[in-house]
Amino acid sequence: MSPLSLLARLGRLALGALAAVGRVALFAISTFTHMLRPPYYPREFALSLLQIGWLSLPVVGLTAVFTGGALALQIYAGGARFNAEAVVPQIVAIGMVRELGPVLVGLMIAARVTSSIAAEIATMKVTEQIDALVTLSTNPMQYLVAPRVLAALITVPLLVGIGDIIGIAGGYAVAVHNLDFNAAAYLKNTVDFLEPLDVISSLVKGAFFGVIAATMGCYYGMQSGRGAQGVGSATKSSVEAAAVLILAANFILTGVFFSL
Amino acid sequence: MTQDQSPPPMIKMDGVYKAFGSNRVLRGMNLSIPRGSSMVIIGGSGTGKSVALKSVLGLIKPDAGEIYVDGKPAGSGDRDAFLARFGMLFQGGALFDSLPVWQNVAFRLQRGSLKRPADEARAIAIEKLRRVGLKPDVADRLPAELSGGMQKRVGLARAIAADPEIIFFDEPTTGLDPIMSGVINDLIREIVVEMGATAMTITHDMSSVRAIADNVAMLHDGVIQWAGPVADLDQSGDPYLDQFIHGRAEGPIEAVR
């Protein structure tokens, strides 16, 4: 392959990637404008709150409790190398609230919610239900997309907050029952060490991750190709994109909150 | 000099072009459907019948050409008001999985400009279900619990729920057994006549054509190859139409083997 054709291929790839970013950005803008203007669909919104928020609680709780417990064990084992076992409550708290809570909840939401939204909307597209909505004077952006993204914007920060608490509780349970920490001292250290900014950053990350997860599910669902393969491809791409964007957004938000 | 006082056709497609990449589907399609008549468009798979139908509704934007509905350019004016004039039966039914049957039928009556109280919408849905031969106990079932024929009937009930002026039928008998196809064909004919609606149907099924159509148009190579009254179908002298309606492998239309 000549250098020129390699350059041309790279250029095409770069242009393709930029065009994809542009399409997603336009879709996100369109979603927010549809969120703000009537008609509103309270039933769809309520169902989305249930699906994205309430029904995600078990997986979020389990993920958080095991992560918090494992974190306590790791910090204790690592800290023991230089007589710093006592920092377990502080590191579990800061680790869960600043990073692991939002990121793990975000990734679990990407796995559970993004895939489900993408598969549902893609199936609706393939079976002409989206076209049917249009012929019934119903805008799919308003009926399908806006309620889901709004529900994710509201519920994922709550899930992150709950995940943070359950994760800390997991660390507490392991520290108190297995590592002989004093229960009251553990809780006092946790509360004393956490700052409001830690909690705020956690919840703000949750809001961003929720929007990313729901928007990617809706976008890839609406862009789905034909047939079962189209639905499968849309679902896979939506989860990949959501996971990568959540990790990238986490890096940027961490920088914004704690490094600038 | 006398002026033409006849009303404009309900649907008029004038030199409509549509391509998907290098695939030129419609290549200057012209079609006129008089008010209150039933037009059936026939043609092989992939000839653009669905594209033509979706272009009228604005689900697909033509590359060139004009489409008029009741004398006005399609898509001009209020989009909701425009779409409220239409009902459509989709090929696979396109029923909303998550909603019970009555809410599917009454979908348009529960939101937007045609919104009614829930009780009234449900009563209308049950009446429309009865009109297509379904009992009221179907109303609370989910679409997935129904047979293919029942789903088509529910789709038909949804298409007529808001008493539209124009009804589109996309392959109404696909996937149904011959007896159920006959039932659906008869229902479509009865309903279109009863409502005085303008109908546009696309199908491969010649029994549907003969049962539903006042006029027939054959789409081939992106243009209307032949159009005329259904009574002239067998004496058209058009070799393309003859090959299609008799299902012959030999003829001017090349079959992909």
Q: pLDDT band for position B1 (50/70/90)? A: very low
- Of A41, A214, A54, A228, which is closest to residue A125 (Cα–Cα)? A228
Cβ contact, residue pair A138, B96, below 8 Å: no
Q: What is the spatial distance between Cα A90 and Cα A116, in angstroms, rounded to a whole number?
A: 36
Interface probe with B: pick from A137, A138, A144, most Cβ of B within 10 Å = A137
Q: What is the pLDDT of residues B168-210, one digit of tens each?
A: 999 888 888 888 888 889 888 988 898 899 999 999 889 899 9
Residues 93-132 of chain A whose Cβ lies under 8 A from any Cβ of chain B: 124, 127-129, 131-132
- If residue B220 lies in a helix (H) or strand (E), which one and from where to where? strand B215-220
| Poorest-pLDDT segment among B51-60, B121-130, B170-179, B246-255 | B246-255
Residues 137-196 of chain A whose Cβ lies under 8 A from any Cβ of chain B: 137-138
Mean pLDDT estimate for chain B: 89
Q: What is the spatial distance between Cα B90 and Cα B98, in angstroms, rounded to a whole number?
A: 17
> Amino acid letter at B121?
A
| Poorest-pLDDT segment among A41-50, A164-173, B240-249 | B240-249
The answer to whether B244 and B44 have CB atoms below 8 angstroms apart is yes
Q: What is the spatial distance between Cα B57 and Cα A2, in angstroms, rounded to a whole number?
A: 49
CA–centroid distance for B5 within its chain: 28
Q: What is the spatial distance between Cα B142 and Cα B71, in angstroms, rounded to a whole number?
A: 40
| CA dist B199 → B99, B147, B220 (Å) | 27, 25, 21
- Of B51, B142, B58, which is closest to residue B98 (Cα–Cα)? B142
| pLDDT score recorded for residue B144 | 93
- Of A243, A74, A222, which is closest to residue A144 (Cα–Cα)? A222
**Nearest CA distance, A4 vs chain B (angstrom):** 27
| pLDDT score recorded for residue A231 | 95
Q: pLDDT band for position B219 (50/70/90)? A: very high
Count of H-run helices and E-run strands, chain A: 12, 0
**B219-244 burial string, b = 16+ CB within 10 Å, else e?**
bbebbbbbbeebeebeebebebbbbb
Cβ contact, residue pair B83, A131, below 8 Å: no
| Poorest-pLDDT segment among A55-59, A129-133, B245-249 | B245-249
| pLDDT score recorded for residue B35 | 92
Q: What percent of chain A has pLDDT over 70?
A: 100
- Whether residue A192 is predicted with pLDDT greater than 50 in this model: the reply is yes
CA angle at B97 for the pair B92 and B102, rounded to the nearest 5°: 95
The mean pLDDT of B71-95, rounded to a whole number, is 89
B166-170 and B198-202: which strand pairing?
parallel
The encoded tokens of residue B210 equal 């003969």
Which residue reads 């099924």 in tokens?
A: B205
Helix (H, G, I), strand (E, B) or coil at B239: helix
- Whether residue A161 is predicted with pLDDT greater than 80 in this model: the reply is yes
Residue A43 touches chain B, beta carbons under 8 Å:
no
**Nearest CA distance, A247 vs chain B (angstrom):** 33
The mean pLDDT of A219-232, rounded to a whole number, is 93
The answer to whether B52 and B200 have CB atoms below 8 angstroms apart is no
Name which residue leads in pLDDT, A138 or B1.
Answer: A138
Query: A83, exposed or middle or buried, with CB in 10 Å at 0-12, 13-18, 19+?
Result: exposed
Q: What percent of chain B has pLDDT over 70?
A: 97
| Poorest-pLDDT segment among A129-133, A173-177, B80-84 | B80-84
Cβ contact, residue pair A132, B90, below 8 Å: yes
Q: What is the pLDDT of residues B131-158, one digit of tens each?
A: 888 999 999 999 999 988 899 889 999 9
Cβ contact, residue pair A129, B91, below 8 Å: no
Closest-CA residue of chain B to A143: B111
If you compute the radius of gyration of chain A from its CA atoms, what whole number of angstroms results? 21
CA–centroid distance for A45 within its chain: 18
Q: What is the pLDDT of residues A57-105, one digit of tens each?
A: 999 999 999 999 999 999 999 988 888 888 999 999 999 999 999 999 9
| pLDDT score recorded for residue B3 | 54
Q: What is the spatial distance between Cα A208 and Cα A251, in angstroms, rounded to a whole number?
A: 12
Q: pLDDT band for position B122 (50/70/90)? A: very high
The mean pLDDT of A97-117, rounded to a whole number, is 96
The mean pLDDT of A226-242, rounded to a whole number, is 94
Q: What is the spatial distance between Cα A212 and Cα A152, in angstroms, rounded to a whole number?
A: 9
Q: How many of the other CB atoms lie within 10 Å of CB of A8?
A: 12
The mean pLDDT of A226-249, rounded to a whole number, is 95
Q: What is the pLDDT of residues A23-34, one digit of tens each?
A: 999 999 999 999
- Whether residue A233 is predicted with pLDDT greater than 70 in this model: the reply is yes
The mean pLDDT of A126-135, rounded to a whole number, is 94
Q: What is the spatial distance between Cα A227 and Cα B92, in angstroms, rounded to a whole number?
A: 13
* B58 chain-A contacts, CB cut-off 8 A: 134
Q: What is the spatial distance between Cα B111 and Cα B108, in angstroms, rounded to a whole number?
A: 6
Closest-CA residue of chain B to A47: B98
Mean pLDDT estimate for chain A: 94
| pLDDT score recorded for residue B4 | 57
The mean pLDDT of B150-167, rounded to a whole number, is 91
Query: A245, exposed or middle or buried, with CB in 10 Å at 0-12, 13-18, 19+?
Result: buried
- Of A245, A207, A219, A208, which is closest to residue A24 (Cα–Cα)? A219
- Whether residue A139 is predicted with pLDDT greater than 70 in this model: the reply is yes
| pLDDT score recorded for residue B253 | 82
Q: How many CA atoms lie within 13 A of B123 on its CB side?
A: 5
Question: Percentage helix, strand, coil, to 5, in chain B?
Answer: 40, 25, 40
